[in-house]
Amino acid sequence: MVWVRSEHAGALAVVSTWLCALLPWNVTYTPNVSGVSLLFVRFPFAEIQFAWGLSSRVAIRSPLSALSLQSGQTVAAAYQAWVVGAAVLALAVLFSLVYYLRDERVEAGPVDPVRVLGGLLGVVGVVLAAATYLLVTRGLPGIPLPLGVVISLVLAGVLLTVDRT
């Protein structure tokens, strides 16, 4: 079964990469800890934290600032994995922009750009899945939904298996 025609694979690779950059990779809800409920929406390049209960506030952090906030904590490894995943996705986004702007030159190169983007999205999915696992097992309370992780792995599978003949 063919998921996408060969002539549309390049466009799918570019759009898939941009979609993975815009979707949250993890949404975690932490119900009522010390009178405060938290909702973390973690995008590849930003984290938005909503807090309500005794106090209500919204905090926005980059992966690096979130990592520095968790430095020395048991969940720091999860945030380190997030930084690695964000760096790989940034590389994929840059490659996709070059591919979008210079598709004929990139297609004529020594590697298949669809497979490159599929591989990068696969690495991002695996790394962010590890980050989600570390968030859960290292004691961060809450119910995680790895939305972007699943989507990036599915899109990576589609891009890596597309028939390029």
Amino acid at 75: V
Single-letter amino acid, residue 92:
A
Average pLDDT over residues 18-44: 90
d(CA 50, CA 42): 11
User: Would you list the domain boundaries of the chain?
Assistant: 6-26+64-161
Tell me what percent of the residues of the chain surpass a pLDDT of 90: 67
Q: What is the structure's pLDDT at 1?
A: 46
Return the C-alpha torsion angle 63, 65, 67, 73, nearest 10.
-150
Task: Assess whether pLDDT exceeds 70 at residue 162.
Answer: yes
Per-residue pLDDT for 40 more than 80?
yes
- Between 65 and 138, the higher pLDDT residue: 65
Lookup: tokens for 159: 């891009």
Q: What pLDDT score does 122 carry?
A: 97
96-153 confidence digits (pLDDT tens): 999 999 988 998 889 999 999 999 999 999 999 999 999 988 877 788 899 999 999 9
Among residues 55, 61, 56, the alpha carbon closest in space to that of 41 is found at: 61
Q: What pLDDT score does 3 carry?
A: 63
